[in-house]
Amino acid sequence: MDSAYLIETIIKVVVILLVFSALAGIGTYFERKVLAFMQRRLGPMNVGPYGVLQFGADAIKLFTKEDIIPTGVVAPIFKIAPVITAATAFMAAAAIPFLPSFEIFGYEVHPIVSDINVGIIYILGVMAVGLYGPLLGGMASANKYSLISAARAAAVFISYEVVTGLAALAPIMMVGSLSLIDFNNYQAGGISNWIVWSQPVAFILFWIAAFAETGRTPFHLIANDHEIIDGFGTEYSGMRWGLFFIGEYANMFFISFVIPLLFLGGYGDGSFLGALGLLAKVAFFFFFFLWTRAAWPDVRPDQLMWLCWKVLMPIAVINVVITGFVMMF
Amino acid sequence: MFEAVAFYLFAFLTIAMFYIVVTTKQALYALTALAAGMIFISAFFFILGADFLGAIQIIVYTGAVMALYAFGMMFFDTTRDVKEKQGNKYIIVGLSTLAAVLIVLIVSVPMVSDNIVALYPVADDIGNVQSVGLVLFTKYLIPFEVAAIMLLVAMVAGIVLAGKKMDLSLTLMSGEEIEDMKKEKNKKVLS
C-alpha cells in the first residue's frame, strides 16, 4: 500500500463528501423550485437572484440554531441517530463509480473510492443501514408520533429490502458479477446493450423500491408531515435535523447513480460523452423524485405493505425464475 | 500495518459493543449495541478479503436486528430502564465464565494440535462470490438444502400463526362491521 494510493483515496473521499454535501443543499433548492413551478407558484425568490442563495441561508440557519436535547429522550441514541443516516449514505458511495476513469497531469484517476468486487450488495446493504437513523431517532425521542414513524421505518425496511434484492438479482444473474464497473462494461456497447431492454420488469421494480429506500413520496410515510408531524424528526432541531436532511438527499443522489449504472448503461464506453450521459441520467432520476412528489399522493402504510408483499415481491420472484430458465436453455 | 490497526480497532469495538448488550438495562441501548457489534464483525471479513461474506453479514444482521427492534417496541417502553429479575449472582457469573472458557477451548484446540487443513483452498483466479458458491454447491450442498427446508417450515409456521383473518382489512371496514367482528372475537377462525 503505497502513499500515492493513500493520498489519492483521501482526496477522493474529501471530494465526494464536499460535492455531495453541497449537492444535498442545492437539491433542496431545486426541489422547492420544481415543486413551486409544478404548482404554479414562484418558490424561494427573496434571497439572491431567483432565490439561488436560499440554500446558503438555510445552511446558516441550521448551523446556528440551538441544539436542543429534550429531557425525556435517551440522549446517546438520540444524538447518534442523525449521524447514522448521513454517514451510511456517504459510506455507500464508496463503491459507486461516479465517472469513467480519466487522466489528469499524466496520472490516471478512477473516480471510485474502492472497487470491491461485491459493489452492488455493499451499496444496498449500507444504504439499508441508513434506515437505522429514522428508527433509532424515532424510538429514542419519547414521542408518540416519533414512535409511529420508527415502527413504519422498520416495516418499510423489512419489506422493501426484499424487493430491491430480488429485482437486482435478475440483472446480476445476467452479468455474472456484483461489481458496478463490470455492470458498466457489460452494457458499454451502446443503447441496444442496456440491461433495461432485457430486464424491464426488474428495472421498474428496482425503481419503485428506490422510492421506498429513500423514503420519498409516494412512500413518504416515515416522516409524513400531514399525519405524524415530522415523524422521527419531530424532536430534532438545528444541525442534527440537518444531518437527516443531508442523508436523505445524498441517498437520493446515490440511488440515482445506481439505477443508471445497473440498468441504463452507466457511463457507456468511458468517453467524455458517456460521462455526460451518466450525469444526464442521474439528473433525470433526481428530477423524477421531485416530479413524483408534486404529482402523486402518499399511500397508506397498509397499502404499502399490500403493494410490496402481494404485488411486487411475487412479480420479482417470477422475474428471477424466468431469467434463470432463459439463461439455462 | 493497516490490517493490524484495523483488526485491533474493530476487535475492541466489537467486544465493547457486545459487553454493552449483556450489561445494560436499557432495551434500546442493548439493541443498538447488538446491531453495531454485528456490523463491526463484518470488518473482519473485509480485512480477510472475504468481501462477499462481509457485505452479506451487514445485510443479514441489519434486517435481523431490525426485527428485534420491532419486538422491543411492542414489549417495552424502550426509553426507560427494564427491571431485571436478578437470580443467584454466583450461578450467573459461574455459568458465563464456564461458557466463555468452553468457547475458547472449542476454537483453540484444533489450532493448537495443528488439526486444521483447508480441504477446499480458495482458487486464485476466481472471485469471492464464485468461491463461496463452489463450496456451497459441492461440499456443503446437503446442509444448504436442509437449511432451506428448515426456513420453509419456519415460513409456513409463521404464516399459519399470523395468518388469521388475513383477508380482512380494518381500514376498509365500516364501524358496524368492526363491532360485529369484536363480538365474534372468541370464535376460532382457522380450523
**In terms of Cα–Cα distance, which of A283, A287, A313, A251 is closest to A123?**
A251
What integer pLDDT is reported at residue B187 of this predicted model? Answer: 57
Query: To the nearest whole angstrom, how far is the Cα of B133 from the nearest Cα of chain A?
Result: 12
- Flag if A117 and B55 touch (Cβ within 8 Å): no
- Flag if B35 and A132 touch (Cβ within 8 Å): yes
Query: For residue A88, what are the domain limits?
Result: 68-328
Q: Does residue A156 form part of some domain? A: yes
- Flag if A154 and B32 touch (Cβ within 8 Å): no
Residue type for B59, please?
Answer: I
Q: Does residue B63 form part of some domain? A: yes
The secondary element (H helix, E strand) that includes residue A103 is: strand A102-104
Percent of the residues in chain B that have a pLDDT greater than 70, as a whole number: 92
What integer pLDDT is reported at residue B185 of this predicted model? Answer: 61
Interface test with B, best of A83, A129, A227 (most B CBs within 10 A): A129
- Flag if B70 and A129 touch (Cβ within 8 Å): no
What integer pLDDT is reported at residue A60 of this predicted model? Answer: 87
| Across A197-221, average pLDDT | 85
| Chain A residue numbers touching B47 (CB-CB < 8 A) | none
Of A28-32, A89-93, B80-84, B182-186, the least confident: B182-186
Nearest residue in chain B measured CA to CA from A133: B32
- Flag if A118 and B35 touch (Cβ within 8 Å): no
Most confident of A115-129, B6-20, B72-86: B6-20
Residue A218: cis peptide before it, omega within 30 degrees of 0: yes
Query: For residue B17, what are the domain limits?
Result: 1-84
Q: Does residue B163 form part of some domain? A: no
Q: Which three cell numbers stand for residue B64?
A: 435481523
| Across A176-188, average pLDDT | 82
Q: Does residue B64 form part of some domain? A: yes
Q: Does residue A226 form part of some domain? A: yes
Percent of the residues in chain A that have a pLDDT greater than 70, as a whole number: 99
Q: Does residue B21 form part of some domain? A: yes
| Chain B residue numbers touching A128 (CB-CB < 8 A) | 58-59, 62-63
Q: ipTM, 2 decimals?
A: 0.82
Q: Does residue B70 form part of some domain? A: yes
Residue A1, chain B, CB below 8 Å: the answer is yes
| Residues A169, A221, B58: CA angle, nearest 5 degrees | 40
- Flag if B69 and A178 touch (Cβ within 8 Å): no
Q: Does residue A278 form part of some domain? A: yes
- Flag if A154 and B51 touch (Cβ within 8 Å): no
How many other C-beta atoms lie within 10 A of the C-beta of residue B160? 10
pLDDT at A116 over 50: yes
Instruction: Give Cβ neighbours of residue A267 (< 8 Å, ≥ 6 apart).
Output: A97, A99, A100, A184, A274, A275, A277, A278
Most confident of A2-6, A185-189, B13-17, B63-67: B13-17
Q: Does residue B173 form part of some domain? A: no
Instruction: Give Cβ neighbours of residue A59 (< 8 Å, ≥ 6 apart).
Output: A25, A242
pLDDT digits (tens, 9 = 90+) for B128-183: 778 888 888 888 889 999 999 999 999 899 888 887 766 777 777 777 777 777 77
Tally the domains of chain A. Answer: 1
| Chain B residue numbers touching A147 (CB-CB < 8 A) | 73
CATH number of the domain residue B53 falls in: 1.20.120.1200
Average pLDDT value over all residues in chain B: 82
Distance CA A232, CA A212 (A): 16
| Chain A residue numbers touching B69 (CB-CB < 8 A) | 135, 139, 150, 154
What integer pLDDT is reported at residue B190 of this predicted model? Answer: 46
Tally the domains of chain B. Answer: 1
Q: Does residue B54 form part of some domain? A: yes
How many other C-beta atoms lie within 10 A of the C-beta of residue B14? 18
Residue A71, chain B, CB below 8 Å: the answer is no
What integer pLDDT is reported at residue A106 of this predicted model? Answer: 66
pLDDT at B189 over 60: no
Q: Does residue A148 form part of some domain? A: yes
Q: Does residue A57 form part of some domain? A: no
pLDDT digits (tens, 9 = 90+) for B42-59: 889 888 888 888 888 888
Which pLDDT band holds residue B16 (cuts at 50, 70, 90)? very high
Question: Quick check: A209 and A163 in contact, CB under 8 A?
Answer: yes
CA B164 remoteness from chain centre: 27
Q: Which three cell numbers stand for residue A293?
A: 412528489
What integer pLDDT is reported at residue B15 of this predicted model? Answer: 92
Of A201-205, B34-38, B76-80, the least confident: B76-80
Distance CA B35, CA A237 (A): 26
Question: Quick check: A150 and A139 in contact, CB under 8 A?
Answer: yes
pLDDT at A24 over 90: no
